[in-house]
Structure 1
Amino acid sequence: MEQVCIVFNFNGVLVNTRSLAVQLFNQIAATKGFQSIQPDQVEELSRLSIRDRCKLLGVPWYQMPIVGMLIKAGYQDAFPTMKAVNGISKLLHDLKARNIKIGFITSNSQHATREFLQNNQMDFFDYEYFSSNPFTKFRDLDQFCKKFNLKKEDLIYVGDELRDIRAANRSRIKSIGVTWGYDSSPLLQQGKPTFIAAKPDDILSFIEGE
């Protein structure tokens, strides 16, 4: 790698949105007749594919994108007051100190994203990519590289979901799956990521090993 660039998926990696997602889903479920998520189901759901989660909760597969967009919309009001994942800010500073470029890909609004970054003293990314659709990760990775004229072999994509890892594999980009987001470690392993990180510091250790 000539110039390493670490690209972060935003929700679930930089900010832990899982509990908020559960809260928002239960609000949607109450109006649409889905099964609500009980506290003791959260870990079980983290081990299931998105399709199996839909089956368990009685969400028709064709409605999943709509539910996802409604949850994403609910994030925007909450973002400014949310805290970054513990240890993430330090990781970003450590990466910058080592002259490693950092970027993110998100479908959040620019306004909400900017407020979150400023409030958490993390507004110093080299590359920012705002997607219009949370379900186009493979396309977003390709567009990210084109927009910033970056080589795929110099990128490492950090995600918290199996679909992140699969998108990186499809784009032939190295990937790091993190276990503090949505999907469990066994589920992430199904996608065969380059590395699994249990805490932010693990990412730095992996990069230095590379």
Structure 2
Amino acid sequence: MQTYKHIIFDFDGTIANSVPIFLKIYNELATEKNFKLISEETIPQIRHLSYLKRAEYLGIPLYQIPFIIPVLYKKYKQNIHSLQAYEGIFDFLATLHQQGFTLDIVSSNSKDNIIQFLENQNFPYFTNIYCSENFMGKDKVLKKLLKTTGYPLKTCLYVGDENRDIEACMKINMDCGWVNWGYEDELQPQLQYYPKGHFKTVQDLLAFIKKDS
């Protein structure tokens, strides 16, 4: 039986419901830069595109991306007071902590934003927070976490909500659980058999982790 000890979480779309903030700050920037505006109805059209294809769809020149990302992080931080967690997620995380699991975060958001959100929520139980901040290298950040902490690979479960989360886990052979309450509600065909589980509620995810640990 698989024994998980270390549960590693994505942040946006897994812990925090950042869709409203993302739409607000992106559209502010898009208005300034004359990029294409998006709405909640637009998200299903672009959620399965690669980041390069998304940039093309939105009319964002590739050379501007390295300059745009820090601006988005800054705008995100300015709005973080309105960021909400998904219902029940902190009770779920507290239960895992109480039962002895190590909790970590690997995200493409900035570490400062995540720390500020967790302080606002008065939740101090994440041991490590690692951030890629480039949208392309989450597998490398997961490897860095493993190297730094010494966690055995087979004791780790990564929990995310996007196809690219699964792709990152596949690259390093890490077990992955996929939740569909975030940015993507379906998997690309080539990925649908990789996750150890597809979870619609935190209760489903908790039952899986406890069963396999």
Normalising TM by the smaller chain, what interval?
0.7 to 0.9
Corresponding residue for residue 82 of structure 1:
83
- Counterpart-to-counterpart distance in 1, 2:108 and 2:165: 14
The answer to which of 146-155 and 190-199 deviates more is 190-199
1:25–1:67 contact (8 Å) kept in structure 2: no
Deviations 1:60-85 (A, max 9, x none): 44544544443233212222442211
Take 2:40 and 2:4, find their aligned partners in 1: how far apart are those partners?
A: 43
Q: Which moved more, 1:83-92 or 1:49-58?
A: 49-58
Question: Would the aligned equivalents of 2:179 and 2:198 in 1 still touch at CA under 8 Å?
Answer: yes
In structure 2, what is the Cα distance between the partners aligned to 1:208 and 1:22?
A: 35
Aligned match of 1:27: 28
Match of 1:151 in 2: 152
Corresponding residue to 1:201 among 177, 196, 203: 203
Structure 1 window deviating more from structure 2 (54-63 vs 139-148): it is 54-63
- Distance (Å, rounded) in 1 between the aligned partners of 2:108 and 2:21: 16
Q: Distance in 2 between matches of 1:125 and 1:41?
A: 33
CA spacing shift, 1:132–1:27, aligned 2, 3 Å? closer
Q: Which amino acid letter does the alignment assign opposite residue 168 of structure 1?
A: C
Distance in 2 between residues matched to 1:149 and 1:36, nearest whole Å:
44
Consecutive unaligned residues of structure 2, counting only runs of 5 or more, are none
With normalisation by structure 1, the TM-score equals: 0.85
Matched positions, count:
210
1:160 corresponds to:
161
Give how far 1:87 is off: 1.2
TM normalised by structure 2 equals 0.84
Q: 1:188 and 1:49 mapped to 2: Cα distance? A: 15
Which residue in 1 is equivalent to 2:44? 43
Could you tell me which residue of structure 2 aligns to residue 103 of structure 1?
A: 104
Deviations 1:176-195 (A, max 9, x none): 12212222323487363222
Q: Could you list the runs of 5+ residues in structure 1 that have no partner in the other structure?
A: none
- After superposition, the CA RMSD in angstroms is 2.5
C-alpha contact 1:5 1:155 (8 A) present in aligned 2: yes
Deviation at 1:129, TM superposition (A): 2.6
Deviation by residue 1:3-41 (Cα, 9 ceiling, x = unmatched): 511001122211111221122221222232221113432
CA distance in structure 1 between the aligned counterparts of 2:162 and 2:19, rounded to whole angstroms: 12
Q: Deviations over 1:150-207 (max 9, x none)?
A: 1111111111221111111101100112212222323487363222222222211221
2:57 corresponds in structure 1 to 56
Secondary structure at the counterpart of residue 176 of structure 2 = strand
Aligned to 1:126, the other structure's residue is in SS state strand
> How far apart in 1 are the matches of 2:53 and 2:110?
29
Conserved in 2, the CA contact under 8 Å of 1:36 and 1:57?
A: yes
Contact 1:47-1:184 within 8 A present in 2 as well: no
Determine what percentage of the aligned residue pairs are the same residue. Answer: 27
